[in-house]
Amino acid sequence: MVLLTHSTVSVIVSTGIFFLFTSLLFLSGYALQQQSVRNIQHAIRPPDQAKAAGHLYKRSTQDPLSYLDTDADQERQELQPESTPGATGNYAYLQLLSEPDPSNICSAILFFKQLSTAGTAIQDHLFMYPQEWDTMSLSKPIAAALSLLRAASLKYGIWLLPIDMTAATSAGYTTTDTKLLRLGQIQFMQYDGVLYLQTPGMLLDSAKLDAMLLSRPLPLRHDKSRIESYNNEAWIPVPLRSERDADLPPVYLITVNNIDNGHIEARGHIPNVSLDGFGRIVTGPWGVQLAYDGNHDQDKQPGYVFFERDNEGQVKWAHNPLFGSWRAQQYEVCDGLDLDDVMVDHDDEYDT
């Protein structure tokens, strides 16, 4: 029989307690760490995978991390609608706003609604905006337009991309469209190409617009062995100069790729407007007039028409045959908002 002294017992007991608590501490630390790994994985997943996961929401048993598995990719393929032949790449349409203007927000909603009702071979529809819109206090019409946008994002499958602009604003820069794109384009890595279309504007023919991405070889990533990547008849390189320019070209093809040593290659192109047919796909209102001046040739109608703005940011309605129908359709998607309000004020200035 071994006799245990009082002090031996207390050493054994306290050692036991020490091990018990150390183990508990380790286990809870491990659980926390796993939790944050999941959060990080959630945060860094690219939008299309997040979207694919979103498409699977009905399967409640779905492991939120299963998009990391290879068969999640397979499911994504199956979820793709019957795509037109040639739509082999991964493309997106993009509209963005750096200023929260209700009329422009409603124009973007209308564009995405038209895309979803008319149908398009381009799977992803993106809307980019400064993240601060989600938290700052905004005027009533702006807040109303944004809540309509959020509702529309579910209804029409718009992928909203709030971009943290503090890197620009804290350095004293104003928020511009080019800066927003500069800071946000990193999210386009998984696309072969993203086609930006200026808002305000109006979609006339989504099939024609699709053809802009699908009918000709795209420059894509720079590649010495592929001549279209650096000498492309249809797409002219125009780098994004966010320090110099505030506005983007009204139609702009963005390609972002991860290249060697963790460097990012971001390329911007505008369509070659002298290329017959191609240059008329996206035009200003003059493109519509040209088509009407002839014999109402439907083939000559643009796919998308961007509207010009005056110095005060108001859409010019003169010489724009689409203005009336655009305004009427804006009211359909933004029921309850007074979009002519600002313009009336504007006219008043002239009266006084």
Ligand X SMILES: *[C@@H]1O[C@H](CO)[C@@H](O)[C@H](O)[C@H]1NC(C)=O
Sequence letter at residue 44 = I
What is the longest distance spanned by two Cα atoms in the chain?
113
- What CA–CA distance (Å, rounded) separates 173 from 98? 13
Q: Residue 274 interacts with ligand X (CB under 6 A)? A: yes
Number of residues located near ligand X, criterion CB under 6 A: 5
Which is closer to ligand X, CB of 49 or CB of 272?
Answer: 272
Q: Are 152 and 133 in contact (CB under 8 A)?
A: no
Using alpha carbons, list the distances in angstroms from residue 238 to 21, 186, 253, 320: 62, 18, 9, 27
Least distance from ligand X to the Cβ atom of residue 232, Å:
7
Stretches 128-136, 268-276, 307-315, 316-324: which one binds ligand X (CB under 6 A)?
268-276
Tokens linked to 5: 């002294």
Among 138, 275, 290, 343, interactor with ligand X by CB under 6 A: 275
Q: Residue 189 interacts with ligand X (CB under 6 A)? A: no
Q: Which of 231, 236, 242 is nearest to 268 (CA)?
A: 236
Alpha helices (runs of H) in 260-302, residue ranges in sequence order: 285-293
Stretches 246-254, 270-278, 330-338, 344-352: which one binds ligand X (CB under 6 A)?
270-278
Which positions ≥6 away from 72 have C-beta within 8 Å? Answer: 49, 52, 53, 66
Least distance from ligand X to the Cβ atom of residue 249, Å:
15
Which is closer to ligand X, CB of 70 or CB of 231?
Answer: 231
Least distance from ligand X to the Cβ atom of residue 90, Å:
25
Which is closer to ligand X, CB of 279 or CB of 321?
Answer: 279
Among 83, 169, 272, 289, interactor with ligand X by CB under 6 A: 272
Q: Residue 73 interacts with ligand X (CB under 6 A)? A: no
Which is closer to ligand X, CB of 238 or CB of 342?
Answer: 238
Please tell me whether the peptide bond between 200 and the residue prior to it is cis, using omega within 30 degrees of 0.
Answer: yes
Least distance from ligand X to the Cβ atom of residue 267, Å:
15
Q: Is 117 helix (H, G, I), strand (E, B) or coil?
A: helix
Which is closer to ligand X, CB of 69 or CB of 233?
Answer: 233
Which is closer to ligand X, CB of 204 or CB of 234?
Answer: 234
Which positions ≥6 away from 78 have C-beta within 8 Å? Answer: none
Which is closer to ligand X, CB of 51 or CB of 280?
Answer: 280
Stretches 54-62, 63-71, 144-152, 272-280: which one binds ligand X (CB under 6 A)?
272-280
- What CA–CA distance (Å, rounded) separates 317 from 206? 23
Tokens linked to 216: 């000709």
Using alpha carbons, list the distances in angstroms from residue 48 to 198, 267, 284, 342: 22, 20, 31, 37
Least distance from ligand X to the Cβ atom of residue 237, Å:
9
Q: Which residue is nearest to ligand X (CB)?
A: 272
- What CA–CA distance (Å, rounded) separates 15 from 212? 73
Tokens linked to 118: 């008319």
Stretches 11-19, 153-161, 269-277, 301-309: which one binds ligand X (CB under 6 A)?
269-277
Span 226-265, contacts to ligand X by CB under 6 A: 233, 236
Least distance from ligand X to the Cβ atom of residue 227, Å:
12
Which is closer to ligand X, CB of 189 or CB of 275?
Answer: 275
Q: Which of 99, 254, 105 is nearest to 184 (CA)?
A: 254
Using CB under 6 A as the criterion, which residues of the chain lie in contact with ligand X when the complex forms? 233, 236, 272, 274-275
